[in-house]
Amino acid sequence: MKIFINRLKLKKGTLKDVEKVKLNPSAKKQFLQMMNDKKFEAYYVKILWKSIAQAYVFYDLEEKNLADGKSTCYVCNVFVHSKFRRMGLCTRLMNTIKESAKKKGFSKIVIGVMEDNIPAITLYRNIGFVNDEGKCNFDAVLRDKNGNRIPRKEYLLLSCNL
């Protein structure tokens, strides 16, 4: 299986890919606008048109401590299908994102992760993330229809210097 996994292609998403994501209409509109404005990229690993791994990168958000458009970008919605975990897909995704962000001139990546997700925290620490950005209790990306923050369960913010 390792040989097969290593041959899977990691793909940068397109507007068409984001249009297929199951989101409420307001969220989808926000994502599509950010992608169109080059403030957002989606990365996928797919098998037969089904995503088995993904990660979203935001380069410029209202929350400038997370993504300021210049030096810091924000990663979220990192997912690897349960049947494909512990095979290196997340590490490949994150390394690709780190390389891409560095080429764009960014020097730091911030990632949000639930405090009880010990396997993810361990993985991120192993690839260079540290526990130094505090916590967040709202959706860092999406806003409600009035432009207000959307409350979420509190999660950790880890960062990695590039």
What is the tens place of the pLDDT at every residue in 24-81? 677 777 878 888 888 989 888 877 777 788 899 999 998 999 999 999 999 998 988 8
Work out the pLDDT band at 14, boundaries 50, 70, 90: low
Superfamily of domain 2-161: Gcn5-related N-acetyltransferase (GNAT) (3.40.630.30)
Work out the pLDDT band at 132, boundaries 50, 70, 90: confident
Please report, as a single letter, which amino acid is at residue 161. N
Mean pLDDT of 130-145: 86
Predicted TM-score of the model (pTM): 0.86
Q: Under 8 Å CB-to-CB from 49, ≥6 apart: which residues?
A: none
Measured at the CA of 63, the angle between CA 58 and CA 66, to 5 degrees, comes to 55
For residue 142, what pLDDT is reported? 83
Percent share of the chain, pLDDT over 70: 86
Query: Who wins on pLDDT, 146 or 125?
Result: 125
Residue 120 predicted with pLDDT over 70:
yes
CA 24/CA 26 separation, integer angstroms: 6
Query: Who wins on pLDDT, 2 or 76?
Result: 76
Q: Under 8 Å CB-to-CB from 121, ≥6 apart: which residues?
A: 113, 115, 131, 156, 158
CA 102/CA 109 separation, integer angstroms: 9
Residue 5 predicted with pLDDT over 60:
no
Residue 146 predicted with pLDDT over 90:
no
Query: Who wins on pLDDT, 155 or 31?
Result: 155
Residue whose tokens read 């290593």:
6
Work out the pLDDT band at 147, boundaries 50, 70, 90: confident
SS3 of residue 10 by DSSP: strand
